[in-house]
Structure 1
Amino acid sequence: MPPAEALNPNPNNTMKPLNVETKPPSNGHLAPPPEDAPATTKSALYAYRKIILVASIAIGLQFGWALQLSLLTPYVQLLGIPHKYAALVWLCGPISGMIVQPLVGYYSDRCTSRFGRRRPFIAGGAAFILVAVFLIGFAADIGHAAGDDLSKPSKPRAISVFVVGFWILDVANNTLMGPCRALLADLSGTSQKKTRVANSFFSFSLAVGNVLGYAAGSYSGLYKIFPFTRSQACDVYCANLKSCFLIAITLLLFFASIAIYYVTERPISADGKFVAGTGDGDEEDDEVEEKSAAVAPPPTACGGVPFFGELFGAMANMKKPMIVLLMVTALNWIGWFPFFLYDTDFMGREVYGGVSNGGTAAELRMYARGVRVGALGLLLNSVVLGFASLGIETFSRWAGGANRLWGFVNFILAGCLGLTVLVSKLADSNRQYGVGGVLLGPTAGVQAAALLLFAVLGIPLAVAFSVPFALTSIFCNEAGAGQGLSIGVLNLSIVIPQLVVSLLAGPWDALFGGGNLPAFVVGAIASACSGLLALTMLPSPSPEAVGKVAVGGFH
């Protein structure tokens, strides 16, 4: 699943800014400034309110994504998929990143719906997420109703429902996220101040969604708020997961509905021109529209080279700095993706000594407890990431350039992934047992060490979510290339390693006796190589240029 591109005026392939308006309030909500305020002040405040509404959609979206990262790999194993095949479920991420994102960007620019270019995709994405959440949350119940035997460790019908829901969720996330960013770019126009505000609020919303999602995933009693979630086929872990996703979809539908209702778009006609007579009287917006030529290639005139052809054409003509950047990024994500796949599974399996399927009641209980503690570790990771992202420009200056900063933190990533082996060995050698040999949790020192690793990884993650996108933007400006096209090329250097890791991580782990450590060790080696390459071959722009680019997110 590719990371969310840093917000820019053309974030997803061909998505180009389009002027957007807001419905005049009829019930006191989103009230404009007083009539005696200066016209420019009124218009600016009104525009910022629209930006906040659209950026808030990311809270619900990222809440669900945090649950997906922390809970779903363990859950699919609880349903009966062996550990070595669990990563294959995540193949939908890189595949949808390579196909869905560019297609949504392409057709979003050319959408002639009377509701605008972006809102139909936002509404459609939210609707598909609702369907996906239902399938994932109720997979065990649907599987049992279809004939799954609860006494057997594997539930094939529940697994089938879950996998379908998982893939729909991933495609829907990409369908929704790209147009949200594009709508923010539409609202920002060419104003650098509005773009910075949009970046800030979007990043803030992602952080809030992350923290809330991981907090919900770490709480074991959430199902008590929704007692109907527990059933014969759905145990406490399953009921908690179901409750978390019910909260996620409620948040998403709430924020998306408000944004879709209040923030309207001026539709375009088949020839790419604004449709007359659909505004709300905003003079500043009208002035922007009058200066706009054809805002997008019209649907009837799309005979140019398709985006994928442009993408591979751009790769054939890349300059050396961009080639090195793609190599560093690819190695970096070979390091990151095993952690994203197995972070909470590592906590439940290696640290807490539990098993995901086929063990004793105590081992299953320890695994579920470890997964919840892993979600707490991801919450700490998000908090550190948020604070670290505020200092990217300062850190770049201290390090002597963005390339050196990225190189240094990649060695931190390599060290943390390598230290998972030490933490696992300490946990195993200090395993505690109660009366009758019942497995107990790890020592306080082992728990603290594991949580510290999760938290420290927030520092290199903040850099990974910002510096590559900043450097891509800068290098493509220097080469005179298109922003959207260059981000698309960078996206390939992220999703292709994810595809490789999804295919090979499980069998590689099984080759060395199971568990997550072999994939982590490979990730550590790749991260060290990435750091070395960044320090020795990657050119660096000024820290100020890097600091102007917003933090992205993992999608």
Structure 2
Amino acid sequence: MDHVGVARSGRQPRPVRVAGLAQYLALTIALGGLQFVWSVETGFGTLYLLSLGMRKSLVSLVWLAGPLSGLITQPLVGALSDSCTSRLGRRRPYIIGSTICVVMCLFIIGWTRELVGDRPAMVVWLAVVAFYVLDFAINCIQASLRALIVDSLPASLQDAGTAWASRMIGIGNTVGYLMGFLDLARLLPFLGSSHMQVLTSIASLVLALTVAITCYYTPETPIARLPSHLRNGSSSGLRALAAIFASIRSLPTTVRDVCRVQLFSWIGWFPFLFYGTTYVANLYVADNSGDGTGGPDLMERGTRAGSLAMFAYALSSLGFSVILPYFAYSSTAHAASRQHRASIDTQSTFGRIMQIARKVRLAASASLATIWMVSLGVFAIAMLFTFAVSTARGATWLVAVCGFCWAVTIWVPFSIIGQVISSGATSAGQPARTENRDDGYIYVEATDIAMDDLSFNTHDGQPRELFENDEAAHHYPLDSSSISAGTVLGIHNIFIVLPQFITAFVSSLIFAYFEHANRSKPEKTGGEHAHEVALVLRLGGMSSAVAVYYAWKLRRRV
């Protein structure tokens, strides 16, 4: 994109500087750091709590922290940050404050025994409280970072922004699980004496660094300098929550459809994320229980085998998050793509090659909703395949396949919702304004634009739009009746966390039943532990099959 069109005011076209990858990296890198922290919690939290002496059924209830914090924190922070009047901007104060809280919780988790001493009950309680506060702080950061992406990018670049966010999340996942596989206590003894201490220390440093990069290099206009139609009145927490739940009915139809898919798909994802490592670790213990070793040493190797499986999953997710956006198309970014196509010189040899390459991509591409539907089907099949898998190696392959599904899950729904918000949909069933657009789907284009030219940044001290009457990429500001990014993303998150309550209670009941049934046995084998976890995974797979149906219905709408 070399220039914008003539502005409404009659001024001459103002050039837009084209930047490299650094601008998208600055906007999304903090999500990578946050995902690193979350991979530490989900990948190793269950085994860590079990090592403290907690029963598996109680550990399931501990993970209610995630849905509780998501149900309350994300929508509340989204709504409150929409009207934040800090001179740092609307999202930065919540990002910075929550980051400090996360670092403190990670320190407590890593050094729980050292802080409490030889009091087992207190050790468990302190760890549980730290995990609960950690979840609330993580959700606060996530809500603010997701809203920052929507704030910063026009509708035509929401696909690219969320695609880069998924790549950063993939990198955070990959590095997090790789760290879990390595013998960190031996490699980095100056960061702690145990594996968990070193892991939490690294997670704290990574999160602090990535958040600092995003906050420093991503411009955010304070609310006082935004146009009046973009300002939200201040409100209390209770009033904000009441407004959030009241506005669920007025969500755009497309957003409601996305929420319906998320409701069923996350019943499958929650058990996988929290018990995937444990599932593979128990199968490894069952595979190697006859080799003469046992006890803590065998379980330690099993934990590392589970970490290796999750690392394969994270690596697979990262690879697909890089590749898939080039083979997806969307109905909102087509204007920018049309201008790009028009700029190709078809008379030159290079131009003709580029045109052929684009046609090949078109033949191999699918819509965002179709890709999401396929990924949900693959995930459902993988979870149901636990019936046929009985070895750690086979389970590792199943877990790795789910990387494709995760890459889509953290990209497509946010991309669809970001397009709806940025293009100005205002009520249920009301489509985004589509002037200067023709019908049909086009590729998702990762157009690079300088970060200081994004969205409602300032020019000569005055707020302005990114594209001023540009035919190729017209960005419409939301009017006073439009939906706010923080509020909509908060509502969307409610439909992600509600199924987590369901799976937490169901898995707790399943584990409690097996604990009671096997009470007469001196000790359960690794295979029996794996069977219990696999049962929960299969129930999640059945729910994902239901999500496929609703994704198919969404596919007909977007």
Query: Residues 90 and 502 of structure 1 are in contact (CA less than 8 Å); yes or no, is this contact kept in structure 2?
Result: yes
Deviation at 1:97, TM superposition (A): 0.6
Distance 2:369 2:28 in 1: 30
Q: 1:399-478, aligned counterparts within 5 Å?
A: 405-424=371-390, 446-469=391-414, 477=425
> Is 1:177 matched up with 2:142?
yes
Match of 1:509 among 477, 501, 511: 511
Distance 1:81 1:74 in 2: 10
- CA distance 1:329–1:60, shift in 2 (3 Å): closer
Amino acid at match of 1:450: A
> Is 1:192 matched up with 2:206?
no
Deviation at 1:480, TM superposition (A): 2.3
Map of 2:476 onto structure 1: none
- CA distance 1:454–1:141, shift in 2 (3 Å): same
Deviation at 1:164, TM superposition (A): 1.8
- CA distance 1:392–1:50, shift in 2 (3 Å): closer
3-state SS of the aligned residue for 2:203?
helix
- CA distance 1:483–1:466, shift in 2 (3 Å): farther
TM-score with structure 1 length normalisation? 0.69
TM-score with structure 2 length normalisation? 0.69
> Is 1:343 matched up with 2:262?
no
Query: Residues 57 and 511 of structure 2 are in contact (CA less than 8 Å); yes or no, is this contact kept in structure 1?
Result: yes
Amino acid at match of 2:167: F
Deviation at 1:196, TM superposition (A): 4.8
3-state SS of the aligned residue for 2:231?
coil
Distance 1:85 1:304 in 2: 31
Map of 2:299 onto structure 1: 367
- CA distance 1:50–1:413, shift in 2 (3 Å): closer
Map of 1:498 onto structure 2: 500
List runs of 5+ in structure 1 lacking aligned partners: 1-37, 149-154, 231-238, 275-288, 425-445, 546-555
Match of 2:548 among 522, 534, 538: 534
RMSD: 3.6
3-state SS of the aligned residue for 1:368?
helix
Map of 1:381 onto structure 2: 313
Bigger RCO of structures 1 and 2 (CA < 8 A, at least 6 apart): 2
Query: Residues 57 and 255 of structure 1 are in contact (CA less than 8 Å); yes or no, is this contact kept in structure 2?
Result: yes
Q: 1:225-304, aligned counterparts within 5 Å?
A: 225-227=188-190, 229-230=192-193, 239-263=194-218, 265-268=220-223, 273-274=224-225, 292-299=227-234, 302=235
Deviation at 1:167, TM superposition (A): 1.5
Q: Deviations over 1:155-181 (max 9, x none)?
A: 212112211221221111122222223
Q: Deviations over 1:116-155 (max 9, x none)?
A: 32222121111111111110000121232xx32xxxxxx2
Query: Residues 383 and 537 of structure 2 are in contact (CA less than 8 Å); yes or no, is this contact kept in structure 1?
Result: yes
3-state SS of the aligned residue for 1:479?
coil
Distance 2:114 2:508 in 1: 27
Query: Residues 60 and 504 of structure 2 are in contact (CA less than 8 Å); yes or no, is this contact kept in structure 1?
Result: yes
Q: 1:52-63, aligned counterparts within 5 Å?
A: 52-63=25-36
3-state SS of the aligned residue for 1:423?
coil
Deviation at 1:392, TM superposition (A): 6.1
Distance 1:191 1:320 in 2: 17
List runs of 5+ in structure 2 lacking aligned partners: 1-12, 330-362, 432-482, 519-527
Distance 1:537 1:201 in 2: 23
Amino acid at match of 1:500: I
Residue range with higher mean Cα deviation, 494-503 or 529-538 = 529-538
Query: Residues 352 and 370 of structure 1 are in contact (CA less than 8 Å); yes or no, is this contact kept in structure 2?
Result: yes
Query: Residues 122 and 175 of structure 1 are in contact (CA less than 8 Å); yes or no, is this contact kept in structure 2?
Result: yes
- CA distance 1:88–1:111, shift in 2 (3 Å): same
Query: Residues 110 and 296 of structure 1 are in contact (CA less than 8 Å); yes or no, is this contact kept in structure 2?
Result: yes
Deviation at 1:496, TM superposition (A): 1.0
Map of 2:133 onto structure 1: 168
Residue range with higher mean Cα deviation, 90-99 or 516-525 = 516-525
Amino acid at match of 1:524: R
Deviation at 1:517, TM superposition (A): 3.4
Distance 2:23 2:253 in 1: 40
Map of 1:6 onto structure 2: none
> Is 1:334 matched up with 2:336?
no
- CA distance 1:421–1:366, shift in 2 (3 Å): farther
- CA distance 1:321–1:200, shift in 2 (3 Å): closer
Q: Deviations over 1:478-498 (max 9, x none)?
A: 712847455444322221110
Deviation at 1:89, TM superposition (A): 1.3
- CA distance 1:387–1:240, shift in 2 (3 Å): same
Match of 2:97 among 115, 124, 140: 124
Work out the percentage of aligned pairs sharing the same amino acid: 25
Q: Deviations over 1:498-520 (max 9, x none)?
A: 01212231221231357353454
Amino acid at match of 1:64: V
> Is 1:480 matched up with 2:430?
yes
Query: Residues 99 and 137 of structure 2 are in contact (CA less than 8 Å); yes or no, is this contact kept in structure 1?
Result: yes
3-state SS of the aligned residue for 1:115?
coil
Map of 1:524 onto structure 2: 538
Map of 1:233 onto structure 2: none
Amino acid at match of 1:158: V
3-state SS of the aligned residue for 1:298?
coil
Distance 1:303 1:131 in 2: 27
